[in-house]
């Protein structure tokens, strides 16, 4: 069992993609992806494979809001898929302490072997006072056994040096610190990892409050990831607020088509602080859009079920209306 943690936009999903590409042919993997947003995107960011099972858990934080759902999902995943290796990707706002407590608890203590916790670090985050002051950002790195420094092509040499210095100041020292160009990490760092030795860090109070049994309706194990899409031209909108951030998600019918140039321009005009992921049916085919700290990447996607967009912003910024009608191609 592996945990790959890291703050919003630090390249966790890209790193996992690189590990999947190097997966031993005789192993079956399961990837459990938690998302802060109400409409799951990350599950659509992975291409379907027979030897890799992807399970998405959108709509909250694994360590608190979705703790019960996580336990049920893991039991279901282990029993049905029988994977040789499981990688859990918590939300960028997820605190790893609660997750580790669950995996080391009675339900899983004799079932899974928790290996080194890997944290991804985007050097540019060290210039962001809000991130540096965020308990989750600091604790993700403090609990990690190892650190992958990502976003090298978007960071200056000074930022990269500062990242190495920042990690070197953590105690106890990390088992390894590895630069991950284009999000690539040697598979041996995963397959030859040791047991997790996470420090005893408690779940912060603001996460504990979210874990309180105050939900009127308990989250569903099945979720709504593969629900029928909304009618053509009538997108579904979902919002959620917690931990100082607000997520806005949209889904469109698969027949709704977007102009890729106009879509990219629109996304580029959203606030730099916005964390943006999407998968869209466009005039250039189905595309995955991924933007962190203002840098937008566009790739082809095998997803065909619907178009999706998730935007996460700090509560200190006004949430945009996300009206994408002007980016759509008229059916007529």
Are the beta carbons of 226 and 305 closer than 8 angstroms? Answer: yes
Least confident of 110-124, 189-203, 285-299: 189-203
* Confidence category of residue 224, pLDDT binned at 50, 70, 90: very low
CATH H superfamily, domain 236-329: CobW-like, C-terminal domain (3.30.1220.10)
Are the beta carbons of 272 and 261 closer than 8 angstroms? Answer: no
Are the beta carbons of 143 and 96 closer than 8 angstroms? Answer: yes
- CATH fold label, 2-211: Rossmann fold (3.40.50)
- Examine the pLDDT at 223 and tell me if it is beyond 50: no
Closest to 317 (Cα-Cα) out of 281, 274, 275, 286: 274
Residues in the chain: 332
Q: In this predicted model, what pLDDT tens digit does every residue of 87-109 receive, in sequence order? A: 999 888 777 887 888 888 888 88
Are the beta carbons of 63 and 95 closer than 8 angstroms? Answer: yes
- Examine the pLDDT at 17 and tell me if it is beyond 70: yes
| Strand ranges across the sheet with 146-149 | 52-58, 29-35, 85-89, 2-6, 118-121, 146-149, 176-179
Preceding amide of 172 cis, omega within 30: yes
**Cα gap 138→301, rounded to integer Å:** 33
What is the per-residue DSSP string for 261-330? HHHHHHHHHS-TT-EEEEEEEEBTEEEEEEEETTEEEEEE----S-EEEEEEEETTSPPP----GGGEEP
* Confidence category of residue 134, pLDDT binned at 50, 70, 90: confident
Domain positions in the chain are 2-211, 236-329
What is the per-residue DSSP string for 140-174? HHHH-SEEEE--GGGS-HHHHHHHHHHHHTSSSPP
What does the pLDDT read at residue 64?
54
Closest to 56 (Cα-Cα) out of 72, 77, 34, 38: 34
Q: In this predicted model, what pLDDT tens digit does every residue of 172-217 receive, in sequence order? A: 899 999 999 999 999 999 999 998 886 555 555 554 544 444 433 3
pTM: 0.80
């Amino acid at each position: 069992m592996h945990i790959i943690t890291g703050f919003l936009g630090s390249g966790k999903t890209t790193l996992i993609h690189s590990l999947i590409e190097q997966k031993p042919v005789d192993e079956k993997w399961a990837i459990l992806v938690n998302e802060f947003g109400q409409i799951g995107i990350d599950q659509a960011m992975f291409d379907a494979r027979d030897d890799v099972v992807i399970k998405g858990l959108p709509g909250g934080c694994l360590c608190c809001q979705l703790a019960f759902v996580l336990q049920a999902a893991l039991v279901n995943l282990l029993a049905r898929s029988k994977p040789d290796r499981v990688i859990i990707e918590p939300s960028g706002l997820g605190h790893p302490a609660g997750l580790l407590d669950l995996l080391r608890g009675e339900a899983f203590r004799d079932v899974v072997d928790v290996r080194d916790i890997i944290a991804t670090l985007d050097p540019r985050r060290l210039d962001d006072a809000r991130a540096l002051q965020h308990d989750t950002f600091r604790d993700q790195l403090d609990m990690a056994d190892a650190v992958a420094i990502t976003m090298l092509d978007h960071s200056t040499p000074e930022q990269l040096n500062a990242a190495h210095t920042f990690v070197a100041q953590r105690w106890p020292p990390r088992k390894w610190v590895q630069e991950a160009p284009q999000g690539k990490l040697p598979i041996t760092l995963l397959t030859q990892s040791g047991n997790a030795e996470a420090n005893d860090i408690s779940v912060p109070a603001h996460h504990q409050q979210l874990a309180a049994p105050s939900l009127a309706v308990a989250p569903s194990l099945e979720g709504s990831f593969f629900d029928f899409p909304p009618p053509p031209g009538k997108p579904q909108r979902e919002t959620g607020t917690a931990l100082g951030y607000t997520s806005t998600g949209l889904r469109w019918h698969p027949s709704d088509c977007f102009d890729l140039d106009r879509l990219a321009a629109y996304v580029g005009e959203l606030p730099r602080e916005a964390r943006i992921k999407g998968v869209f049916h466009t005039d250039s085919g189905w595309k995955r859009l991924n933007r962190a700290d203002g840098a937008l990447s566009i790739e082809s996607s095998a997803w065909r079920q619907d178009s999706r967009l998730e935007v996460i912003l700090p509560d200190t910024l006004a949430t945009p209306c996300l009206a994408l009608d002007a980016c759509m191609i008229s059916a007529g």
